[in-house]
Structure 1
Amino acid sequence: MNIETFKHIYFRLPTIVRLLLTILFVMVLFGVTIHIIEPDEFPSIFDGIWWAFVTGATVGYGDYVPLTPVGRIIGILLILSGGGLLTFYIATLSAATVDHERDLSKGKVSFKGNNHIIIVGWNERTRQLVQMINSKDNTIEMVLIDRSLDHLPYKHFPVHFIHGDPSEDATLVQANVEKAASVMITSDITKTERQADIATILAIIAIRGNNPVVPINAEILSLTQADNAIRAGADTIISSNDFMSTLFYHELFHNEDTKPFDSILHLLNNQQFVNLPVPEQLVNKSFKEASIFFLNKRELLTGVIRDNEWIMNPVNDFQIKEKDTLITLTAWK
């Protein structure tokens, strides 16, 4: 268990549980120590732990008593810990825990993990994205960067919140972008389309400057800014406006018994698109033959990319070329 995993578990526990675990650790430590020092007087580790609890709480039943000078010194330290130091430590720990949890919720704590997903912008889309990622694999670490959000309860959402501007290096350092596995940038819904796209492009430039190789997926609202986002360093551009316009078009003019939105939603929830080079055995084969090849692997061949042209559902005798890229549908793994 690394420190980030421990932190996720520890700081989501109720305060009283955290305090009890800390007390238990201290008492076990003293109990094991006195058992090692005086094994005759404290025959078992449990006897030592019992003595530690009784002495630390200043109850003092007297059923177990250290006899050696070293044992009595341990007893004195335990009494001080139980009566003074332990109380002070618990109070300090309680305050530090509350402060740290508050700082986590306010986005002031730097992320120390790696291979995490950075999500820029908090909105309904990213909230659902976080839930989908967490339901698929709850071990994936996610870091959220947002400057409009003042508070995000750490225990309610499985993300490490960083409050700040994603176009500033200090914020990206806090998010440990150098060791991130990927970055997802969503458009700022509080800005106009042009302002939101400019903010996205600035964030892309800053992220690419801090990590030249991390995959960056960015949402762009205006097609006129898509090329600029690519020049800035984005690997994938998601044009949400185009997607929604096309979806509305299908909803308006689809066949009566068809439900385009529901079909696409269920498709993307259960299947993923994969772009792959042409297998050697399919070179110069027909689209129909290639389709049968993938059907035998429980995959669906949907189209071909040739010279940057997307050819979806071509005719059966369409010939597959060596330099083509095939588009398939396969189940999420």
Structure 2
Amino acid sequence: MNIESFKHIYFRIPLIVRLLISVLALMLVFGTVINFVEPEEFPTIFDGVWWVVVTGATIGYGDLVPQTIPGRIIGIILMLSGGGLLTFYITALSSAAINHEQKLSKGKVNYKGKKHIVIIGWNERTRQLVRLINSKNARAEIVLIDRTVNNLPYQNVPVHFIHGDASEDATLAQANIEHAASVIITSDITKKERQADVLTILTTVAVRGNNQDVPINAEILSIAQVENAIRAGANTVISSNDFMSTLFYHEIFHKESTRPFETVLHMLNSQQFIQKPIPDKLIEYTFQDCLTHLLQNRELLIGIYRDDEWVLNPSPDFTLQKDDKLIVLKSWKQNSLNN
């Protein structure tokens, strides 16, 4: 477990529990040291911890007392820091914890981890995306950049929040964009479509300028701006309005026995699209033969990508070629097990 993962787990714990854990750790350290220095007077670590607790709490029963000079030096250190050891540490730790937690909630703490997912823009789509990522991959570290939200408690939303404009290098540096695994840029719902697309493209340029290799997924509202987003450096452009219009069309003209929207939503929640090169042994096979072969691994072949064109649901005797890419549906659970 790295430092960033520990930090996120630690700050999910209620404050009083965090303080108790910290104090107990300190008691254990002193108790272990005195047990090592004076094993005859403190035969067990528990005896050492007991002595530390009663000394630090200024009770001093006198049932256990250091007899050697090193032991008494440890006692002096404990008493100098005590006469209120517990109060001192609780006060100091609570102040530091509360201060750090407030900074974390306000988006003022730099992220220092690597291989994380950066999401730009906070809205309901982002909220649902965070929930989906956590449900599919609980170990994924998410950094959220947004300038419209002033406070985002980690206990409510399990992301590392950075407050600022994602089109500025300083904000991207706070999110450690240089070491990010992927970036998702959502449209700003507070602006008009054209303004939102311009901001998305500007943010894409800034991200690409700070990391030449990171995959960028950008949401564009106007289909006329898709090419500009690609020129700016986006690897994948999601035209959300175009997608929703297509779904609405299918909903209007679907047969009564089908529900296109619910079908697509359930499919995307349980299945993953995979594009992979055709295996050498399947070259010159028919689409039907390849479909049968892939089904043995619970992979559903739905089409072919050839010469920059999509060929979905071709005829059974469609012959596969060397440079074809297979478009496959595979369950999320199965993909996780294979990885």
Pair 1:315-2:315 in alignment:
yes
State the 1:141 CA deviation.
Answer: 0.5
Aligned to 1:244, the other structure's residue is in SS state: helix
What is the CA-CA distance between 1:84 and the residue it aligns to?
A: 4.2
Which position in structure 2 is the counterpart of 1:330?
Answer: 330
Aligned-pair CA distance for 1:80:
2.4
Identity of aligned residues (%): 64
TM-score with structure 1 setting the length: 0.96
Provide the residue aligned with 1:55 in structure 2: 55
What are the superposed Cα offsets for residues 264-309 of structure 1, whole Å, 9 maximum, x if unpaired? 0111111111112222222222222222222233222111222222
- Matched letter for residue 144 of structure 1: L
Contact 2:56 2:85 in 1 (8 A): no
Q: Which structure 2 residues correspond to residues 227-306 of structure 1 after superposition, within 5 A?
A: 227-306=227-306
Whole-Å Cα distance in 2 between the matches of residues 21 and 69 of structure 1? 30
**Whole-angstrom distance in 2 between the partners of 1:67 and 1:290:** 81
Distance 2:323 2:74 in 1: 76
- 1:197 and 1:174 map into 2 onto residues whose CA distance is 24
TM-score normalized by structure 2?
0.95
Aligned mates of 1:88, 1:185 — CA distance in 2: 45
Structure 1 unpaired stretches of 5+: none
Q: Which residue of 1 aligns with 2:135?
A: 135
Counterpart contact for 2:57–2:86, Cα < 8 Å: no
Cα RMSD after superposing both structures: 1.4
C-alpha separation between the residues in 1 aligned to 2:289 and 2:30? Answer: 73
SS in 2 for 1:118: strand
1:234 and 1:96 map into 2 onto residues whose CA distance is 40
Distance in 1, Cα, partners of 2:272 & 2:38: 64
- 8 Å CA contact 1:180–1:214 kept in 2: the answer is yes
Tell me how far apart the structure 1 counterparts of residues 310 and 286 of structure 2 sit (CA, whole Å): 17
* Amino acid of the structure 1 residue aligned with 2:148: S
The farther-off stretch of 184-193 and 34-43 is 34-43
- Deviations along 1:30-65, one digit per CA (max 9) or x if unpaired, are 212222222222122211111111111111111111
Q: How does 1:82-97 map onto structure 2 within 5 Å?
A: 82-84=82-84, 86-97=86-97
Structure 2: runs of 5 or more not aligned = none
Matching residue of 1:176 = 176
Q: Which residue identity lines up with residue 92 of structure 2 in the other structure?
A: T
The number of residues matched between the two structures is 333
Report the CA distance shift for 1:73/1:278 in structure 2 as closer, same or farther (over 3 A): closer
By how many angstroms is 1:228 displaced? 0.8
User: What secondary structure sits across from 1:190 in the alignment?
Assistant: coil
**SS of the residue aligned with 1:83?**
coil
Amino acid at match of 1:124: E
Rounded Cα–Cα distance in structure 2 between residues aligned with 1:260 and 1:228: 31
Work out whether residues 165 and 171 of structure 2, in 8 Å CA contact, stay in contact via their aligned partners in 1.
Answer: yes
Aligned to 1:148: 148
- CA deviation vs aligned residue, 1:67-116 (integer Å, no higher than 9, x gap): 22332222122122221455333312211110100110010001111111
The aligned amino acid for 2:176 is N
CA contact (8 A) 1:81 1:87 kept: no
Hey, which bits of structure 1, 4+ residues long, moved more than 4 A?
none
